Structure 1
Amino acid sequence: MIRVERVGPLATVQDLGRPGWFDSGVGAAGAADRASLRLANRLVGNAEGAAAIEVLLGGVELLAERHLTLAVTGAAAPATIDGRPVGAASVLELEEGQRLRLGYAMSGLRAYVAVRGGIDLPPVLGSRSRDTLSGIGPEPLCAGDLLPIGKPPRAYSPIDVAPVAPPADGLVTVDVVPGPRDDWFTDAAALFEGDWTVSQDTDRIGARLDRRSGPALRRRVASELPTEGMALGSIQVPPSGRPVVFLADHPITGGYPVIGVVVDADVDAVAQARPGQAVRFRRVGPPA
């Protein structure tokens, strides 16, 4: 068991999600930064999709109730064990009674804490992920929660640390495939002109953006669009003209036009962009 002693802005249990339920109106959810979750699990010898703790910004304290092997990845949140600083993206050993504390991140938005054996809460529709839009999955963590740990995998080749850079704290540049509704705008190219700023109201559903420089996005088609499917990374533009990049807990359908789609490889970077951070879109062609 691991006990949650303290929680910051938000901490949830996440794995790689529950794909395959779109026809029932259920989105995939899962870790907002999938690469960081996979890395944390690899460091402790878990399967890449094992459930871990996703921590928004930091502020979490965890108490080991037995010996545990952990790893912390993602946002650059300073970590300590009983007050002793420990490295990021490294393997950590906690003995019974020791505490892991995460301070508030210096860069990035979401950190991941993986435990060897995985967080073993009951799955819902095949996943232990919390979907903050639908309310499916384990409740967000609270102080006093006890989290069961699964059986450790047999094969385990430990390494000390993974040589990965923390998330960028400056301009985030991501590739975007235009469409399918870019023809609904008077100047769709305006999406790629100048920079955007991540809004304060960004969440696991989507990264909401404000214009930092350049022209606004204006609709050419005044009529409304029938509801259609929405993919991870879709850039939906509501009447305000402020685009929203859909993240892990995005709705599976929507009625506002999608001006472009962030390529899958860059969605994790958007999920780590903090409020106030600049984002630039770079146009790329559709895959062959």
Structure 2
Amino acid sequence: MTLTVLAPGPLTTVQDLGRPGRAAEGIGRSGACDRASAALANRLVGNPVGAAVLEVTAGGLLVRADAGVWVALTGARCTGTPYASPTWVPAGSTLRLGTPVSGLRSYLAVRGGIAVDPVLGSRSTDLLSGLGPAPLAAGDVLPVGTAGPWPGVDVAAVAEPTAGELVVAVRPGPRADWFADDVHRTLATTSWSVTGDSNRVGLRLAGPELARQRDGELASEGMVRGALQVPPSGQPVLFLADHPVTGGYPVIGYVADADVDCCAQLAPGQTVRFRR
């Protein structure tokens, strides 16, 4: 069983749960940006939650099933495509993802999983390091794995991405003392706009300058998903799945882990507010 890519859209990558536990080797985890939606897509077609799926940014994917297969779409709902339910695609038929109604990243699971060759134990594409398969291009043929018996699975719903402002929880970071109290108040009372420079590495946010109260530079220290880093521009960056392993700018706070999935669905122009 294979899928043939006829059109990849703006950006489509293969993603699974990533490469955990390798930060000491300088290798980031990567994996699906919206882990909850990717796991739901897999459960809907009877796959293990760690099976590889297609992460489709801003829609536009067109694929042909070379044999009949069950698929499921979650994350950002796309026009013209069945959503959050198992869908049968007959042999030789095509599946097209339109423009997302809300959110940015859609997850397409195929029963049996996308079976490209793993790299360091994962099939995920890491755009920062270049590990894993290249982003999809027209003409790519994707192997699909062999599915076992359809299991009884829990398909608890995952909330659809919001089209409005997102409010997420933030906790103090290890360098919170680099910023005065009024800067922390600014962080928590501003509607931060997502800029067009955002990607799988992180959300670049625009708003008031978060000025430091300390001079000097930090030695590079470990970074994790959800870190809210403040570069010299004073415009915060929220790290997502392909974040660097280390960084030298102060981290003012951490977004609650479950909320980072929701942040991964923010499109350029949307706003996010941080609740302390």
TM-score, with structure 1 as normaliser: 0.92
1:110 to 105, 114, 119: 105
SS at match of 2:174: coil
Deviation at 1:125, TM superposition (A): 0.6
Matched, 1:172 2:166: yes
Q: How does 1:174-253 map to 2 (within 5 A)?
A: 174-186=168-180, 187-211=183-207, 215-253=208-246
* Shift, 1:271, TM fit: 0.3
- Supply the distance in 1 between the matched residues of 2:209 and 2:131 (Cα, whole angstroms): 36
- 1:261 corresponding residue in structure 2: 254
Q: Report SS of the residue matched to 1:79.
A: coil
Q: Distance in 1 between matches of 2:152 and 2:69?
A: 16
1:134 equivalent to 2:134? Answer no
Contact 2:13–2:136 (Cα < 8 Å) also in 1:
yes
Conserved? CA contact 2:40–2:158, under 8 Å? no
Amino acid at match of 1:102: L
Kept in 2: contact 1:129–1:138 (CA 8 A): yes
CA distance in 1, matches of 2:121, 2:109: 19
1:204-227: CA deviation from partner (whole Å, max 9, x where unpaired): 00011001xxx5310111100110
* Match for residue 115 of structure 2 among 116, 120, 129: 120
Q: How many residues align?
A: 273
1:93 maps to a residue whose letter is W
| 3-state SS in 1 of match to 2:125 | coil
- Equivalent position SS for 2:258: helix
Q: Is the 8 A contact 1:197 1:210 kept in 2?
A: yes
> 2:271 matched to which residue of 1?
278
Partner of 1:286: none
Cα distance in 1, alignment partners of residues 210 and 77 from structure 2: 33
Structure 2, unmatched stretches of 5+, are none
* Distance across 2 between alignment mates of 1:19 and 1:68: 30
Confirm or deny that 1:51 pairs with 2:44: no
Q: Secondary structure at the match of 1:180?
A: coil
Equivalents in 1 of 2:117, 2:139: separation in Å? 18
Q: How many Å separate the matches in 1 of 2:166 and 2:52? A: 28
State the SS of the aligned residue for 2:145.
coil
Cα distance change of structure 1 residues 236 and 164 upon mapping to structure 2, 3 Å threshold: closer
Deviation (angstroms), 1:162? 6.9
3-state SS of 1:108 partner: coil
1:148 and 2:143 correspond: yes
Contact 1:89 1:164 in 2 (8 A): no
In structure 2, distance between residues paired with 1:79 and 1:166: 16
- The alignment partner of 1:207 has SS state of strand
- Cα deviation for residue 104 of structure 1 reads 1.1
* Residues 175, 281 of structure 1: 8 Å contact kept: yes
Q: SS state of the match for residue 204, structure 2?
A: strand
Indicate the residue corresponding to 1:92 in structure 2.
87
**1:279–1:21 distance in 2 versus 1, CA, 3 Å:** same
Deviation at residue 78 of structure 1 after TM alignment: 1.6
Let me know the Cα RMSD of the aligned residues.
1.4
Whether the 8 Å contact between 2:200 and 2:240 is mirrored in structure 1 is: yes
Letter in 2 for 1:246: F
1:79-138 residue CA offsets vs partner (Å, 9 max, x unmatched): 34xxxxxx3111110111111000011210100000000000110010000000000001
* Aligned-partner residue type, residue 210 of structure 2: L
- Distance of 1:233 and 1:210 partners within structure 2: 17
> Is 1:61 equivalent to 2:56 in the alignment?
no
The answer to whether the 8 Å contact 1:89/1:162 transfers is no
